[in-house]
Structure 1
């Protein structure tokens, strides 16, 4: 794997640790990341001068968002990793995060106060065996899932419970407009019926079990299943492969800001990204590469900045359209 821009280090640098951190309190990291991402962050920190100098606490996305909203700069955390739309919303309401030092150059523009640690891209996928048994054609678009013939044969995440569903909603709304798109997503959710999932990984699990023929979820998971020989294939929808990122930020506590917080973020990106790329193969920094099968055909981003408020607006539109 290629590292992040000019900060990736040379061959001569490999295996070397950064300078030992100043003697200070542990850097408290609050994260919504799953186990694989947390392990990658820990490995990077432990191997690069921060072993014993940090503490990671795990939260659900909405739980961590709620803590930041309630506690602001009084939060215990020195560093947070969270979906960027949460970080942007909090920074807009209250300058909660400090500008980052020594920030590596990202492929997509990003603000001064967060830097991405991983990306997730949406796609359609099918169980090829169940699709054939159900005598269905593979969909070309997400909107196809609203057609009557797919009723009872699809599994998708619920926009009220999963940010993965927002990738699907953004794609449909970008192609059709918000009002028409909300109606289409509501029709898709209705077609999913009992296979409307609270978890973003739920639909693929239903396809693996043979309980559904078609689903929507995270592209790299379907790519991995296909590579393992499962009867799973992925489809890049005509509406586009939309992306959500999770990023790291330093809580700005003024004079009380932990002096090693910036170093923690720098190490996670500089040394953690190669391992993170293995689990979340979405290139985020200049110089990073992923395998051909992990390159979506239609990478896309929503026309508006992503915020918690925009998510809530889309959630309400979809649920109102389904009434």
Structure 2
């Protein structure tokens, strides 16, 4: 997630929330939520929540995944919030974070498959994002290239200099690609594959969305990016095809949890109940490529772009704890090999 923004959302006042937390005052019907959802989707989700649960006021602090992690660890001895919402599972599984959480199973949690929730009930994920390739159709036709269908296709010699992908040191999307490759292939074979992929790479860039935008504009032939950006660009008329690698798409979950130090426990639980409700699901469906609740009705523009009705059939089974524990080591090795 990009950005470092803390601002009022839909009539919800961050400053008041922090003052109340600092003074130790609790107020019925008001909770403080920390999140890494993007601003536009966050505003839509909060509007839907306020419509469904009008008796709870939500004060929001929105930060990027890394900045939110740093803030939570800095506040570990005296947390300032009641709920974590829409935050990377690979950060949520940090033992220092788990220590701050209270196990909670919200009403309706059975709609969320076990693979998308902590076995001890400390967190659950309702949304997420997944990797995909954005392939420029005119550029492929111009060079008489076959459409790739897999990671293995991308190391074919005919794609030399035609690829662009995010740098995993700066992009969560970049890291989910690297971590999933190393998990699905094993580290020895995975690094050998990444060496071969690097030979076909035109550039590595900071943002997870920019590779798809570059391919959409014809600046590169294939952008290794994420599905929602591909769907949005296709919907806007760009001449690209979204390809989900046949080996399975790496992904990141956006998880929710209850703080054990919450001074507004019942309202916090009511909010978390809403996050697995039909109203929440309906709003998530408009914005997210991954919505974990079973029985989802996939939006037409998503299926037209190439997403299956059952998203679980194309996701690689990511080990979130492994990805979190090995992040620093993997990024250091990647930088040593590929940053010149």
Q: TM-score range by the shorter chain?
A: 0.7 to 0.9
Whether 2:275 is the aligned partner of 1:262: answer: no
- Say which of 137, 141, 148 aligns to 2:150: 141
3-state SS of the aligned residue for 2:327? helix
1:130-279 maps to which residues of 2 (within 5 A)? 130-189=139-198, 191-194=200-203, 196-253=204-261, 256=263, 258-270=265-277, 271-279=279-287
Distance 1:260 1:129 in 2: 53
Q: CA deviation at 1:227?
A: 4.1
| Corresponding residue number in structure 1 for 2:326 | 310
Equivalent in the alignment of 1:128: 137
Taking structure 1 as the reference length, what is the TM-score of the superposition? 0.82
Counterpart selection for 2:316 from 284, 292, 300:
300
**Alpha-carbon distance in structure 1 between the residues aligned to 2:53 and 2:228:** 32
CA distance in 2: counterparts of 1:259 and 1:73, whole angstroms: 22
> 1:235, 1:67 → 2: CA distance?
36
Q: TM-score normalised to the size of structure 2?
A: 0.78
Q: Is the 8 A contact 1:174 1:239 kept in 2?
A: no
Q: Which residue of 2 aligns with 1:114?
A: 123
Is 1:89 matched with 2:98?
no
Runs of 5+ unmatched residues, structure 2? 1-25
Pair 1:95–1:192, CA change in 2 (3 A): same
Deviation at 1:186, TM superposition (A): 4.8
- Once the two structures are TM-superposed, the CA of residue 215 in structure 1 deviates from its matched residue by 1.4
Compared with structure 1, are the counterparts of its residues 249 and 189 closer, same or farther at alpha carbon in structure 2 (3 Å cutoff)? farther
CA distance in 2, matches of 1:43, 1:32: 17
Would the aligned equivalents of 2:133 and 2:245 in 1 still touch at CA under 8 Å?
Answer: yes
CA contact (8 A) 1:121 1:218 kept: yes
Task: Provide the rounded CA distance (Å) in 2 between the counterparts of 1:165 and 1:113.
Answer: 27
For residue 287 of structure 1, the aligned residue among 295, 316, 330 is 295
Give the match for residue 61 of structure 1.
Answer: 65
Contact 1:171 1:239 in 2 (8 A): no
Aligned length in residues: 299
Gaps of 5+ in 1: 1-21
Shift of 1:170: 3.3
Deviation at 1:313, TM superposition (A): 3.0
Question: Which of 1 and 2 has higher RCO (CA within 8 Å, sep 6+)?
Answer: 1
Deviations 1:187-225 (A, max 9, x none): 53564344x121111111111221011011212332343
SS of 1:72's equivalent in the other structure is coil
Distance 1:117 1:50 in 2: 21
